[in-house]
Amino acid sequence: MDTKTLALKIKNLLDDKKGEDIICYNISEKSTIADYMIIATGNVDTHVKALAEYVMVELKKEDIQPLYHEGTGNGIWVCIDYGDIMVHIMRKNEREFYNLESIWGGCPKI
């Protein structure tokens, strides 16, 4: 599966579990850390954790494992690194405070 297809699949998985304000940026022209940055909001800690777990479990079924993940213990902000795709799932307050969209907002959305 190519990177863009995988990014869209992750976006759809987040949508399946009622992730909110899901945005996927193509950051390949502005960054070397990844090609795509996905940002989503969960309502509460348990929702954030459930969204992250769902993505990781569903992709594991296709032998797609994250290189690293952080934040699944507290559910405030979970970051999942799939190499060319970075996934950020956070509560609304954290999303507003850290405002990742201000960094990547000029990049094209998919």
For residue 36, the enclosing domain spans 3-104
Output phi, psi for 76, to 5 deg: -85, -45
Residue 4, CA distances (Å) to 38, 45, 47, 85, 96 in order: 11, 28, 25, 9, 26
CATH code, domain carrying 49? 3.30.460.10
Task: State how many domains the chain has.
Answer: 1
Are 78 and 90 spatial neighbours (Cβ–Cβ below 8 Å)? yes
In this structure, is residue 109 part of a structural domain?
no
Cα-to-chain-centroid distance, residue 18: 13
In this structure, is residue 75 part of a structural domain?
yes
Q: Is the pTM of this model over 0.75?
A: yes
CA distance 11 to 9: 5
pLDDT along the chain (110 residues), means of 10: 96 97 95 95 96 98 96 93 97 95 87
- Tell me what pLDDT residue 3 has: 96
In this structure, is residue 110 part of a structural domain?
no
In this structure, is residue 36 part of a structural domain?
yes
Read off the DSSP letter of residue 83: S
